[in-house]
Amino acid sequence: MARCSSHLIAAALLAALLGGCGGATPLTFDLAALPPAGRPVAAGRSIAVSEPVGIQPFEADRIIVRESGGALAFLGGGQWADRLPQLIQTRLLQSLENSGRLRSVSRPGDKVVADYQLISEIRAFD
C-alpha cells in the first residue's frame, strides 16, 4: 500500500512539473475601431460586411512581420486577438456602426437584408 501511494505522489509531482512546460503566454494584439462620430446623421441605408479573404498566412491569429530583407516571418511571442480576417471584419463593423451614418450594419449571416455588401481582400498588412 505504501508503494502504491508513493507512486501516486510521484505521478502527481511529475504532472505538476510538466504542467508548467507549455511556455510563456504570447502577447495578444488587437486593432481599434474608429471612435464614435460627434453628431450622427443616420441615412436610410444598410450594409453587410463580409469577412475579408486573404492569402494563407493572413488566415491565422499569428502576426506576420516583414524582415529587413523583405522576407515574411511570424512574430515570436505575439498573436492577434482573433484570426486576422475575423478581427478586421469586427473592427470594420464597429467603425461603421460608430459613424452613425447607416441604418444598420451587419454580417451576411445575420439574416438582415442589406442595401450594400462590403467585400474586401487582405493583400498586404504592413
The predicted model gives 14-20 an average pLDDT of 44
The predicted structure's pLDDT at residue 55: 80
Can you give the CATH number for the domain in which 76 is found? 3.40.50.10610
Joined together, the cell numbers standing for residue 119 give: 467585400
**Looking at the domain assignment, is residue 12 inside a domain?**
no
Tally of structural domains, the chain: 1
- Kindly report, residue by residue over 63-73, the tens digit of the pLDDT: 888 888 888 88
The predicted structure's pLDDT at residue 44: 84
Tell me which residue range forms the domain holding 29.
Answer: 24-122
Position 18 confidence tier, pLDDT thresholds 50, 70, 90: very low
**Looking at the domain assignment, is residue 13 inside a domain?**
no
**Looking at the domain assignment, is residue 14 inside a domain?**
no
- Kindly report, residue by residue over 76-126, the tens digit of the pLDDT: 888 999 999 999 999 999 999 999 889 999 999 998 999 999 999 988 776
DSSP 24-89: PPPEEE---PPPPPSS----S-EEEEPPPEE-GGGGSSEEEEE-TTS-EEEEEEEEESS-HHHHHH
Specify which of 34-43, 49-58, 81-90 reaches the highest per-range mean pLDDT. Answer: 81-90
